[in-house]
Amino acid sequence: MTRDEIRELAAFQADETKGACALSFYFQPDPPQDRSHRREAIVAKDIVKQALKSAAAAGKNGSLHADLDRVLDLATNLRGSARGKAVFACSAQNFWKEYELPPHLGATQIYLQSQFQLKPLAALLGAQPALCVAVVDRQRARFFDLRLDDLRERGAIVHLLSRSGSSYGYNGYEGGHAERRVADEALRHFKAVSDRLLADYEKGIWERLIVGCQDANWPEFDSNLHPYVKHRLIGRFSADVASVSNEEIRDHAGVVLNQWITERASTKASEALDLAKSNGRGVSGLRRVLQALEAGEVQSMFLGENYSAQAVQCPNCGHLDAHLTPSCVACGKPTRELSDVCDAIIPIAIRRDIELFYLKDHTDLDRAGNIAALLRFRSDQRTGQIAAAS
C-alpha cells in the first residue's frame, strides 16, 4: 500500500445525491493462539450480514447491496487468516480496492459513509517510515523493504567464508592462521554490508533500519555500522539468515516497529504538550489544533485512542469549527454538523502528510483534551522567515 493509494482513498467522495455509499471493511484476525476457533471470521460474516439487513431496511438495494454481497463472500473466505484485511468499495462509482494489512486493526468493522473510514488505517500507519530490514550473518546479508505488510527483498550480499580453522586439522599454527583469515573475511563482509546500507540510505531508499542477526554476531556487526546508519537503527531481532522465512522476518520486524512507533508517539506527544505550555511549537485541545491545521502549521498530530468530538464543517469553504455554530465564521454559509471531527481531520492529515499518532493511556494527553499537535512553525510568531521544516 503506497502513500498515493492512501491519498486516493482519503480524497474519495461518494455521490450521495445518486445514492452512492463508500463502504469500508476492516478484518482483524484472531490472535494466533485462538486462530483454530475461527471466531473472527464468524464475527466478520455476522457484521456484514447485519449491514446487509440494515441497508435493505433503509431501502438501499442497488449497488450497496452488491458491494455488501461481495464483502460477504470475501469474509467467508477469511477463516483462519493470520493477516488483517481492508476493503474499500463503491461500485456505484466503480471503486473496489482490497489490501492485506498487519494484524493490528483493533476490531473487525464495517462502515457505510459518504467517505471511506480511514481511522483504523491511520492508526496503523502512525508515522510509518520507509523501512529497511537487513538480515545478516558473517558471510551473508539480505536486504528487504517493508511497507506496511509488504516485505520485498531488494538485494543480497554473499561473501562465503574460507573453510573454518577447525577443518584444517589439529596443527595449532595452521588452525590459528585460518581462523584469523576467516575473522578478517567476516570483518570485510560486515564493512561491505555497512557500506551498502549507507549508500542505500543516502539514495533515499530507506529512512529507518531494523537488523535481524544472531546475538553472537551483533556486537561485531554493530561496531562496523556507519554512525549515520546507526542513528537510523530502530531495533534488532534474533534471526538466522540461513533458515529464517520471509514471514518470520515480517513478523519480527513488525513487532520491533510497533514498539518503536509507540515509544516515539509518547515522547513526541509529551514534547508537543510541553511546547504548548510554553507557547512554542505545540498546541493542545480541539479548538487550537483545528486552527493550527487550517493555518497549515501542523507537522504531527496526537489523538487519544478513542478520541471523538463533535464539530461543524462548512461545505462551502471547508472551515472546521469546534464551536457548533450554525453559520460559518469564515464565509457565513450554513455549516453541517459532524458527529466525529476525526472523519474530517484524518483525510486532511493524509493529504498533507501530517504524521498521525494514536496513543493509549497517555495521562498528559488525556488531561489536555486527548488531542494535540506539534507544529512546523507558528504563523503568529513568524519573523518573515519560513521555518526550515516547512
Q: Which of 41, 298, 312, 314 binds Zn ion (CB under 5 A)?
A: 314
CB of 16 to Zn ion, least distance (A): 20
Segment near Zn ion (CB under 5 A); pick from 48-56, 166-174, 243-251, 322-330: 322-330
Check residue 368 for interaction with Zn ion (CB under 5 A): no
Stretch that binds Zn ion, among 115-123, 168-176, 227-235, 315-323 (CB under 5 A): 315-323
Does position 319 interact with Zn ion (CB under 5 A)? The reply is yes
Q: Applying CB under 5 A, which part among 25-33, 137-145, 165-173, 321-329 lies near Zn ion?
A: 321-329
Is 330 a binding residue for Zn ion by CB under 5 A? The answer is: yes
Question: What's the min distance (Å) between Cβ of 352 and Zn ion?
Answer: 19
Least distance between Zn ion and beta carbon 328 (Å): 3
Residue closer to Zn ion (CB basis): 326 or 384? 326
328 sits near Zn ion (criterion: CB under 5 A):
yes
Nearest alpha carbon to residue 271 among 368, 360, 388, 354:
368
Tally the residues of the chain: 390
Nearer Cβ to Zn ion, position 194 or 335?
A: 335
Q: Should residue 316 be labelled a site residue for Zn ion when binding is judged by CB under 5 A? A: yes
Residue 342 in grid coordinates: 476525526
CA distances for 316 relative to 293, 319, 331, angstroms: 17, 8, 8
- The residue among 316 and 339 lying less far from Zn ion, judged by its C-beta, is 316
Rounded to whole angstroms, the Cα distance separating 390 from 387 reads 6
Q: How far is the CB of 317 from Zn ion (least distance, A)?
A: 3
Exposure letters 223-256 (e unless 16+ CB within 10 A, then b): ebbeeebeebbbbbbebebeebeeeebbbbbbeb
Helix (H/G/I), strand (E/B), else coil: 304: strand
Residues binding Zn ion: number (CB under 5 A): 7
DSSP conformational letter for 240: -
- 261 Cβ contact list (under 8 Å, min separation 6): 126, 127, 128, 357
Contact 153, 143 (CB under 8 A): yes
- The SS3 of residue 334 is strand
Output the smallest distance, CB 290 to Zn ion, in A: 13
Choose the binding region for Zn ion from 54-62, 161-169, 221-229, 330-338 (rule: CB under 5 A). 330-338
Q: Is 317 in the site for Zn ion (CB under 5 A)?
A: yes
Bridge partner list, 89: 23, 96
Interface ranges with Zn ion (CB under 5 A): 314, 316-317, 319, 328, 330-331
